[in-house]
Amino acid sequence: MRARNVVASAYIVVTAVLLLVCPENTVGQAPRSRGPLAIVVHGGAGTISRASMAAELEEQYRSKLTEALQAGYAILEKGGSSLNAVETAVAILEDSPLFNAGRGAVLTSEGQAELDASIMDGNTLKAGAVTVLRHVKNPIRLARLVMERSPHVMLAEEGAEQFAAANGIEMVDSSYFLTERRINELQRAKEREEKKKQRAAPDSGGGTVGCVALDCNGNLAAATSTGGKTNKYPGRIGDSPIIGAGNYADNHTCAISGTGDGEYFIRGVAAYDISALMLYGGMTLQEAADTVVMSKLKKLGGTGGVIGLDGKGNIAMPFNTEGMYRGFIDKDGRLEIQFYRD
């Protein structure tokens, strides 16, 4: 009996140590040391310059990106999963009218918001995506449920929204997405179109949001959410909900979230291409990300950028535009927000 009590006490001690080191380890598994933590966010790439950025607006962007980073990192610090971290961070950015996702989504040629999002688990390679949503407040939360509660990877339009309602996702009237800023942008785009007698030139896609994270178990995750392009055709789908194009995660290589000209990210399978260059080409994350963003995408004619994170906590954030809203908390706990090229 005494020996059994000793064994039981030892098990309790091991379990307590395990939970202290990394709470989401499965109880009963051998404890392991806590791995590095890191999280990176972006809020879109495009024409972002100091000359055109008012100090007050810059502070608003800085504050919201910092809030998203800190909320996601707090989850990681408590031993939470990278999936929970990226979902939380992206949902915060979706709720802000500053970004082209959720509340601040741009409008189609018919004056409606149509939202896309995806999320991917680098540990299992499971993924969930949603597209052409008109009433879902936080598309990234629905994408997570598609991954975990359905046999599918992607759901669209009415089917996706029926699934959302059945699973308790918050729904809103489509007027929720009609902000003055986006209505004015659509009007300007239509005026340009009328003057040119053709559809307005595609914008940079700036404003799409994304997050990648590494948790204490060494698991990577990626999440991306967008409203697409101003004055887009109704039903247009960009790269953000396409696994391998605007979003990808694999523990063996990296987690990637992209922003920019979605059609080119799709054609170049940009996010997966970065992973493949690492896996098959032996490149580092930075080398692979630079190759895709600064060379391959540019040769196709595409503009934009990505945020990337590997299993060692290394970060890459290349972009071929004037600027990209981006920020990180790295493996040393350092927080930094950046907007411009210099």
Asked whether 83 and 205 are in contact (CB, 8 A), the reply is no
3-state secondary structure of 272: helix
Give the pLDDT confidence of 239-272 residue by residue, as tens digits: 999 999 999 999 999 999 999 999 999 999 999 9
How far apart (Å, rounded) are the C-alpha atoms in residues 225 and 144? Answer: 12
How far apart (Å, rounded) are the C-alpha atoms in residues 257 and 246? Answer: 6
The answer to whether residue 205 scores a pLDDT higher than 50 is no
How far apart (Å, rounded) are the C-alpha atoms in residues 169 and 164? Answer: 5
How far apart (Å, rounded) are the C-alpha atoms in residues 186 and 192? Answer: 10
The answer to whether residue 13 scores a pLDDT higher than 80 is no
Asked whether 207 and 226 are in contact (CB, 8 A), the reply is yes
Q: What is the DSSP string of 64-79?
A: HHHHHHHHHHHHHHTT
Q: What's residue 279's pLDDT?
A: 98
pLDDT band for 53, please (50, 70, 90 cuts). Answer: confident
How far apart (Å, rounded) are the C-alpha atoms in residues 241 and 291? Answer: 22
What is the gyration radius of the CA atoms in the chain, in angstroms? Answer: 21
How far apart (Å, rounded) are the C-alpha atoms in residues 103 and 93? Answer: 9
Q: Is 131 a catalytic residue?
A: no
User: What's 295's DSSP letter?
Assistant: I
Domain boundaries, given as residue ranges, for the chain: 1-33, 38-340
Kindly name the residue from 208, 226, 230, 303 that is annotated as catalytic.
Answer: 208
3-state secondary structure of 125: coil
Element (H, E) at 297: helix 297-300
Percent of the residues in the chain that have a pLDDT greater than 90, as a whole number: 79
117-126, 171-180, 204-213: least confidently modelled range:
204-213
Give the pLDDT confidence of 285-336 residue by residue, as tens digits: 999 999 999 999 999 999 999 999 999 999 999 999 999 999 999 999 999 9
Look up residue 336 and give its two tokens. 């930094």
How far apart (Å, rounded) are the C-alpha atoms in residues 331 and 37? Answer: 5
How far apart (Å, rounded) are the C-alpha atoms in residues 2 and 226? Answer: 61
Q: At what angle do helices 82-94 and 55-77 cross, to 10 degrees?
A: 160
Look up residue 24 and give its two tokens. 């989401």
pLDDT band for 23, please (50, 70, 90 cuts). Answer: low
Q: Which segment, 3-12, 20-29, 63-72, 193-202, is predicted with the most confidence on average?
A: 63-72
Query: CATH classification of 38-340 is 3.60.20.30, yes or no?
Result: yes
Which parts of 145-279 are beta strand (E)? 154-156, 209-214, 220-226, 247-249, 254-260
